[in-house]
Copies of this chain bind each other. A is one copy, B any other.
Amino acid sequence: MMNFRIPILKLRDTLIVSIQWELDDQTALQFQEDLLTKLHETSARGVVIDLTSIDFIDSFIAKVLGDVISMSSLMGARVVITGIQPAVAITLIELGIRLEDVMTALDLENGLDKLQLELEA
């Protein structure tokens, strides 16, 4: 069986990740590592993580997501999370995962626009 890894797209100075199916723990950790490595390699200045298709996250995945956002910020990238559905918002807040440095947007298009404005500012 192949090892499932989430593709990370580079578009100009932004990395784009679309999470479309529920992640298992191993895949989430691999994603965290891949994203940080790619940030380092590409010197991308922004990250958009699109969760539009995700209607549920468990506490482990929520924690990994919170971590990856903090780590990306530490590495100097601006992070935008797009398409957070109600149940996902509830999980994040209930678990005390603060998305302080994070911008949010309705969908991928809006997220990219918002990030572009921010990076040009």
Task: Indicate if the CB atoms of A18 and B9 lie closer than 8 Å.
Answer: yes
Q: How many copies does the complex hold?
A: 2
**Which residues of A line the B interface, CB within 8 A?**
1-12, 16, 18-22, 24, 27, 50, 108-109, 112
* Residues of B close to A21: CB separation below 8 A: 2-3, 5, 7
Beyond A3-B21, A5-B20: 13 further Cβ-contacts under 8 Å?
Answer: A1-B1, A4-B4, A5-B21, A6-B7, A7-B7, A7-B18, A8-B18, A8-B20, A9-B9, A9-B50, A9-B108, A10-B108, A11-B109
Closest to A16 in B: B9
Looking at the complex, which one of B7, B12, B18, B24 makes contact with A20 (CB distance below 8 Å)?
B7
